[in-house]
Structure 1
Amino acid sequence: MYRTNEDNSLVDIQPLALNSSGTKRAPLINVPVGLVARQYIKEGAVVLVQFLDRSKENWDRGSNQEFPLGSKRMHDVNDAIVSEVMWIEGH
């Protein structure tokens, strides 16, 4: 993880696993972070990223309301969520 917003609710992530060619994978940008993980996340942390089955395009992070699907996409990198901080320096 290489960048967080002010309240740690969104992060930019550089995947650690390389492509088969040995090049870096594309970063994941503006990934929402679970409430518990926000307490521990910081630059340099290794995080567990999960991907929702369906599009989170119309999901309102500020409420717990049902939402219509914004597209028919499934299992897409655009639907990533950080669920856990797996490693931080010093722990």
Structure 2
Amino acid sequence: MGTNEQLMVIKNKAKKENRKGNQKWNKYLDDYGNYIKEYKLHYKKSNAGNKISLSLYPYMQQKREALKQRINKAHKNNCLNDDQIKRLINMNTIS
């Protein structure tokens, strides 16, 4: 196998691994987006006096922190691509 062929194999392998990583982080971003929607719903209900929604707050706070830490770590380690970063910014500014 020549040098050029080896480089092509390495590049293709890196692309496949990157694609899998992007899918993983897209799933985490989906989870975070769904969490934000769920949080807004329970926030409105708890303001209206719904005790069940109010009791869910500690659980939702823990879930938020776990997702936030995971996504922040991914950002620091440059695991997120530009589209994923834009998506995250939009989620945080809309909410």
Range of TM-score over shorter length: under 0.3
Q: Which one has the bigger helix percentage?
A: 2
Which of the pair has more CA radius of gyration?
2
What is the TM-score normalised by the length of structure 2? Answer: 0.20
